[in-house]
Amino acid sequence: MSQSKDHFLVVGGGGREASFALELIKDSVVSAFITHQNPTILDCVHSSGGSVLVGDVCDAESIVHFASEVGIDYAFVSADDPLANGVVDALLESGIRTVGATRAASRIEWDKVFSMAVVKEAAPAFTPFFEIIDRAEQIEPALERFVLKAMDVVVKPQGLTGGKGVKVMPEHLRDHKDCANYALKLLNSRPDEQVLFVEKLLGTEFTIMGLTDGCNLVMSPASYDYPFRFENDTGPGTGGMGCFTAADGKLPFLTDADIDQCESVMRCVLESLDKAGTRFNGVLNGGFFKTAKGIRFMEFNSRFGDPEGLNVLSLLDGSLAEVLRTIESETLNVESISFSPAASVTKYLVAAEYPNRSPSPSEFTVNLDGMSRMGLTTYFSAAERVSGNRFTTLGGSRVVAIGGTGQDIASVSDRINQGIKQFVTGDLDYRSDVGSQVDIDRMTESRQ
């Protein structure tokens, strides 16, 4: 192992952590504490001279032990469960330089009631109407207020549910009565938690991530995610079937003023957390809606989105290691970080049953060299290598992402579709319409 390179620890095992590893090996040694033998991460660890351990990524003690044993210089944690379980706190307590939100700071993600209250206080004009439910008898009167305002409702559990707990009216809950029943079910099944009723926002959802040391904030290009399982946004919600960013850093339906407003909400929230004694560190990931009445806040994550992080990191100019070092030392230099003026698209391949668990693993192949020749990057997620270019799915999650960059969104989308058709075999499914010209045209019209 070269002495001059810093040694980074990545914690996780998905496509997002694969993208961290791919960026970090450009100038650093990468070790990884991972959920399973992720082929991309393993390749990065081995080629950079690092070490790997498979284990429970919420087991802070084992992660600290591994990090100390291999002598890492910096840890980077950017996955929801480890953050919520205090992995960053444990690493910091043991004296390891770490980038990522502490448990207190990541509350902005793992407690939806808290985050809505923080935004209402810090940036009230951007906050949707909401009601917090502690007890069953509050449900009917709260819903009555939504009826009076002629608003549909989004019902959110307070805590993390891996994207599976939020239900929207009328897509998942037909009417206010269904909302009441679901809220009651949540109060009973998650007795230590509150339930949040939020105004269903009408408009287009998007994400903007900010890299921050708690004070300085570097905004990334905005991204548009495809959470629905099937083409044309049908079927159940998922962790995200794909995502794109545009070459100008905005999305076809956003203006500069929209982006400025999102940035101001994020700055207000960071200041508010800081004033309350919680300095945020890492990636503040803002979910917003562009509505007819302007920008509205939807939710925060305390980490890179997956796949949004893959898109953004594929455009980062310069060294991720350097960015992380300056976040850790609280010297993040806004002027020195930039993103290539290119479009980026990522598409996830999943098992046919996804988002449900597959009854059994299935084998597939990816011609990695072929993808690479097309200028496409392969990021394995819930998959392991059988041998060479033969891999197997692991059952529940998204399997492998293919990403690319280029001049415009639709041509990158087409190139990924071609790459998948040509270089992937096996029973995997994906959304060919992620970043399609039809979608881009529809979004561009909605801005006019």
* Smallest distance, ligand GLY to C-beta of residue 223, A: 9
* Smallest distance, ligand GLY to C-beta of residue 307, A: 6
Task: Determine the interface stretch with ligand GLY among 120-128, 300-308, 312-320, 405-413 (rule: CB under 6 A).
Answer: 300-308
> Are 390 and 428 spatial neighbours (Cβ–Cβ below 8 Å)?
no
Residue with Cβ nearer ligand GLY (128 or 239): 239
- Residues 136, 146, 202: CA angle, nearest 5 degrees: 125
Binding mask 196-225 for ligand GLY (x = CB under 6 A): -----------------------------x
* Smallest distance, ligand GLY to C-beta of residue 21, A: 18
* Smallest distance, ligand GLY to C-beta of residue 261, A: 21
Residue with Cβ nearer ligand GLY (261 or 302): 302
- Residue 306 found at the interface with ligand GLY (CB under 6 A): yes
* Smallest distance, ligand GLY to C-beta of residue 306, A: 4
Give the total of residues touching ligand GLY (CB under 6 A). Answer: 7
- Residue 299 found at the interface with ligand GLY (CB under 6 A): no
- Residue 305 found at the interface with ligand GLY (CB under 6 A): yes
- Residue 301 found at the interface with ligand GLY (CB under 6 A): yes
* Smallest distance, ligand GLY to C-beta of residue 84, A: 13
- Residue 17 found at the interface with ligand GLY (CB under 6 A): no
- Residue 109 found at the interface with ligand GLY (CB under 6 A): no
Query: How big is the chain by its Cα radius of gyration, in Å?
Result: 21
Among 308, 328, 433, 439, binds ligand GLY (CB under 6 A): 308
Residue with Cβ nearer ligand GLY (5 or 172): 172
Restricting to residues 232-291, name those near ligand GLY by CB under 6 A. Answer: 239-240
> Which residues of this chain interact with ligand GLY, rule CB under 6 A?
225, 239-240, 301, 305-306, 308
